Amino acid sequence: MKKLLCALLALLIAAAFSALAGDGENYLEFRNPLYPDVVLKPYRPPETLRGACANESTEEYASVSDAAVCLKGLMKQRSENVVLRIVSSESAAATLMRSILEAAFAHTGGPDEGDYLRWVFGGYQGGYNYFEDGDGIHYEFSLTITYYTDLAQEGEMNGAVDLLLSALDLEDKSEYQKISAIYDYITANVSYDKAHLNDETYLLKYTAYAALINKTAVCQGYAGLFYRLALEAGVDARMITGWGGGGNHAWNIACTEGTYYCLDATWDAGCAEYAFFLKGTGNFPDHTPYSDFLPDYNVSEDDFVPPVTLTGECGDALVWTYTEGMLTIEGTGAMWNYDDDANPPPFIALDMLSAVIEDGVTSIGEYAFAGCVDLRNITIPESVVSIGTYAFYGCESLTVHCRPGTAALACALEYGLLYEPTLYDYDMILPAGISEIAALSFRGTAVEAVYIPDGCLRIGVYAFAECGALKQIRIPESAAYIDPDALLDCGIGTLIVGTPGSAAQSFAAEAGLAFEAESAVEQ
């Protein structure tokens, strides 16, 4: 019955538009202003669509925004023939349809919406019928839309975008690093499509699809690809169209550190040094936007200044490097020992969020990271065989990533992947070869599950004291000495995992903690 009522409603609406249509041809046409000479698909009048068009809806929208949501959804599916109904007080049908179209192109942050959709749209030919009553003017728009890509190509595009972003490995990068990586890829891999420059029947040249899949496009393709990739990576960007180089041109703005800067990948393509990368409006010649929306975007007049990279020594053959919250220590041999007053580590005052210790480093010095309350992650390689006293004291937010033994794990750590968990999912797995965990080494850290490898002989006083989140710690049979206060103030809920009859079981009993035997498989 419900389907029958809907069908009757559709027939009544169609009959109303047919019987009460306004006088005249009621023809509509709109072309992408950047490329007005593109040949549009021929218009199919509403009588040829009604009853056969899968995109016809019985719903009549009461606002431009609601109609725009419907139109945007159909355009993302690359629907060519669209019937759209709306009741409005607007007496100019062409103005109303343009308002709906503009709202459908609004910048939402969706990678396949906004400017990406706007500039893959060639235009439409269409018509409309209408009638008036006490509610307003009831319009029925029927459009035949020309796109530069079809749905199958967009599916291919989506897959290629996912693969590229995975290869670029942008997950933990800063906005500046993401922008740089995307821009470097485009300028190194996309060439200008001179072969189709004057062929107005070849629409792909205007698309991000052509830039990514075919590796050749005109400026609109360059700008569209940057826009798509930037938004996919979580960086806000816009496509800008205007006058440049003596003709129509397209470029981008992108946001880093809360401010927008100008970029032109087309003009920097193939260049060893960039002249149009993250420039301010005061140093971006021969680019005149057609639209005046740029003042809404806090576009800088000055160029972006890349973050400073700091570096120094922290061992006889070790070098540390710091850029944008990331500390890297590399080289061979032991790290120097420090203290928290007279001889603090040279990088201790930096705003470290993550740290990576490269393979080849054999020790982490005393007080190396003590007091780094904002340090969230540190990667420790298997080559580290000792960790000094107070090395991580007070690192309240720290998770240590390390697991001994396999090249596969080293690869996973290098690319920021999770390690393959044991039967217990440890978030701190200390590297093989450590013979002693020194006093106070991990006091006050936020670890929840710690794996101490076989071969460790001693666990010093307060080594894991005040680790309030600690739920589980694996202590090997080799650990013959465990200081009575090694886990002081960790809470009675901490589980000790170890070998029955070992010092770990005795420690658990004396401390009033639960003990669980570790199976041979877990070892």
How many CA within 13 A on the CB side of residue 278? 20
pLDDT at 95 over 50: yes
CA distance 299 to 259: 6
Cross-strand pairs, 56 = 83
3-state secondary structure of 449: strand
pTM of the model: 0.62
For the chain, what is the mean pLDDT?
84
List phi, psi (to 5°) of 323. -145, 120
For the stretch 49-52, contacts whose Cβ atoms lie closer than 8 Å and that sit 24 or more positions apart, written own/partner, are 49/81, 49/83, 49/142, 50/14, 50/83
Q: Residue 345: is it exposed, middle or buried by C-beta count within 10 angstroms (0-12/13-18/19+)?
A: buried
- Render pLDDT for 337-387 as a digit per residue (tens, 0 to 9): 999 788 999 998 888 998 888 989 988 889 998 888 888 887 877 777 777
How far is Cα 335 from Cα 339, in angstroms, rounded to an integer? 13
Q: What is the pLDDT of residue 385?
A: 77
Most confident of the ranges 29-33, 141-145, 349-353? 141-145
Residue 90 clears pLDDT 80, i.e. is over it = yes
Please count the other Cβ atoms lying within 10 Å of the Cβ belonging to residue 323. Answer: 16
pLDDT of the residue at 199: 86
% residues pLDDT > 90 (the chain): 58
Over residues 244-264, the mean pLDDT reads: 94
The pLDDT tens digits for 459-507 are 999 999 998 888 899 999 999 999 999 999 987 789 999 999 999 999 9
Q: Between 259 and 405, where is the model more confident?
A: 259
Q: Is residue 13 predicted with pLDDT exceeding 70?
A: no
C-alpha–C-alpha distance, residues 252 and 237, integer Å: 7
**Which domains are assigned to the chain?**
2-147 (no CATH), 152-297 (3.10.620.30), 313-523 (3.80.10.10)
134 pLDDT higher than 80: yes
CA 173, 179, 180, 181 torsion-angle sign: positive
Cα separation, 397 vs 494, whole angstroms: 19
Least-confidence region, from 263-277, 322-336, 438-452: 438-452
- pLDDT for 58: 62
As a three-state string, the secondary structure of 142-194 is EEEEEECCCHHHHHHHHHHHHHHHHHHCCCCCCHHHHHHHHHHHHHHHCEECC
Q: Using the predicted structure, report yes or no on whether residue 123 has a pLDDT greater than 50.
A: yes
Q: What is the DSSP string of 282-303?
A: GG-TT-EESSS-GGGGTB-SSP
